[in-house]
Amino acid sequence: MAKTVLVTGGCGFIGVNFVRLLLESREDWQVVNIDKLTYAGNLQSLQDVAHHPRYHFVRGDICDGVLVEELFSRFTIDTVVHFAAESHVDRSITGPAAFIQTNILGTFTLLEAARKQWLSEGRENRHCRFLHVSTDEVYGSLGDAGFFTEQTCYDPRSPYSASKASSDHLVRAYFHTYGLPILITNCSNNYGPYQFPEKLIPLILNNALQGKELPVYGDGGNIRDWLYVRDHCEAIVKVVEQGRVGEAYNIGGHNEKKNLEVVELLCDMLDAKVGMLQSGKPRKSLVTFVRDRPGHDRRYAIDAGKIAEELGWTPKFTFETGMDKTVDWYLDNRTWLESVMDGSYRQYYEKMYGR
Ligand code: NAD
Ligand code: DAU
């Protein structure tokens, strides 16, 4: 069915992969991407589709209510897929204010615009959907056993996860109070192309390629449940098309790994693909245990049974196939990585839009 989708944060890691998936696979969907282009937004990542007839980019802040409402009416938006956020836990510890602003107030601004546009008298809103992309971090930290289900109580521990939990509550409140047709997805750790090299996998890849130290927090025993980004994007499309309004869906890959395992696997893969370090040593020799992240959640693991049973979604990539594609992508796109590391990716849009 034809849709006009407002994708927020479409120049970030998952947003870029999502916009690409929609342009490739949904021929009757128009895509409007609003992105503020913070440090995490990279316009170059979508340079090749910038003039696609079904794609429109707007540089803007989701906290700007006038702009957001204007976009809803200018493009007759019937679907929102809301990615825009401050997303990095470490940054939320050193500077939480931006997380409160974008993740909570930005979500509120979008909800208000959708409520005004979709729920005013006489409007047809049967097919409208507001999908809020959230995280498994809202559930807190697991012990050695068990999984997060959609019934797990919220227990966020970082300013990042607290801001996402807050936005989830707001989204749900708009369903119960106003009948806004919302959906929520809570996903585990993503990896894949175009991820900003502050997150574990691209940071380790970049450092290991350059022969720099590989910082592992604490004892390296914290566990994350890894999902290849394309699988996450396909799950989101399923939820938009077939999800039950008002429901939340957990998304995960059943790929629980200790951080140290992930780092060592990346080292082995790079040694095999590009050879050992100049010193002749394996890249594992660069592993350096550093001070732990404050409030570091020990283990995340998703029970993705609901989305599998109700919507028939299961991941297509195993950890091995996903990691192989990811490492190859970073090796084939070293100029992308270099332009992010040296900051020159920002010059591309500063020329067009200013700072
Ligand atoms: P990212 O940090 O790579 O990208 C965020 C994007 O949002 C950037 O393009 C940035 O410019 C934009 N943005 C930030 N503030 C904005 C504002 N005020 N107005 C408009 N645009 C703004 O993030 P990501 O890793 O792609 O994550 C996307 C979403 O998915 C987030 O909501 C995050 O909480 C959620 N999520 C991420 C993961 C993961 O592993 N990365 C897992 C589960 C859920
Ligand atoms: O679970 C979903 C979440 O996954 C998303 O909601 C977040 O947006 C996303 O950033 C991610 O959060 P994490 O904190 O789990 O991701 P990060 O890549 O920062 O860290 C992964 C693990 O690796 C975590 O246990 C901390 C550890 N780590 C991270 C970095 C950057 C290290 O040991 N060394 C590092 O240098």
**What are the boundaries of each domain within the chain?**
3-192+228-254+295-317+343-353
Active site residue 297: no
Q: Ligand 2 test: best mutation among 161, 216, 259, 289, most atoms within 8 Å of CB?
A: 259
pTM for this prediction: 0.98
d(CA 41, CA 34): 11
Active site residue 160: yes
Rounded to the nearest angstrom, the distance between the alpha carbon of 168 and the centre of ligand 1 is: 15
Q: How far is CA 31 from CA 47, 73, 255, 315, 343, in A?
A: 15, 14, 31, 24, 28
Q: Which residues contact 142 (CB under 8 A, 6 or more apart)?
A: 148, 298, 299, 300, 301
Q: How far is CA 104 from CA 159, 171, 318, in A?
A: 11, 10, 34
**pLDDT by 10s per residue, the chain, length 355:** 899 999 999 999 999 999 999 999 999 999 999 999 999 999 999 999 999 999 999 999 999 999 999 999 999 999 999 999 999 999 999 999 999 999 999 999 999 999 999 998 777 788 999 999 999 999 999 999 999 999 999 999 999 999 999 999 999 999 999 999 999 999 999 999 999 999 999 999 999 999 999 999 999 999 999 999 999 999 999 999 999 999 999 999 999 999 999 999 999 999 999 999 999 999 999 999 999 999 999 999 999 999 999 999 999 999 999 999 999 999 999 999 999 999 989 887 777 776 6
Q: Which residues contact 299 (CB under 8 A, 6 or more apart)?
A: 141, 142, 143, 144, 222, 223, 256
CATH 3.50.50.60 fits 3-192+228-254+295-317+343-353, yes or no: no
Q: Which residues of 230-255 are buried (b: 16+ CB within 10 A; e: fewer)?
A: bbbbbbbbbbbeebeeebbbbbbbbb
Identify the active-site residue in 78, 86, 137, 168.
137
Strand partners, 132: 82, 184
CA nearest ligand 2 atom 29, residue: 200
Q: Find the ligand nearest to 295 CA.
A: 2
Is the Cα torsion angle 207, 195, 48, 252 positive or negative in sign? positive
Rounded to the nearest angstrom, the distance between the alpha carbon of 305 and the centre of ligand 2 is: 24
Q: Quick check: 319 and 190 in contact, CB under 8 A?
A: no
Q: Quick check: 179 and 246 in contact, CB under 8 A?
A: no
Rounded to the nearest angstrom, the distance between the alpha carbon of 200 and the centre of ligand 2 is: 6
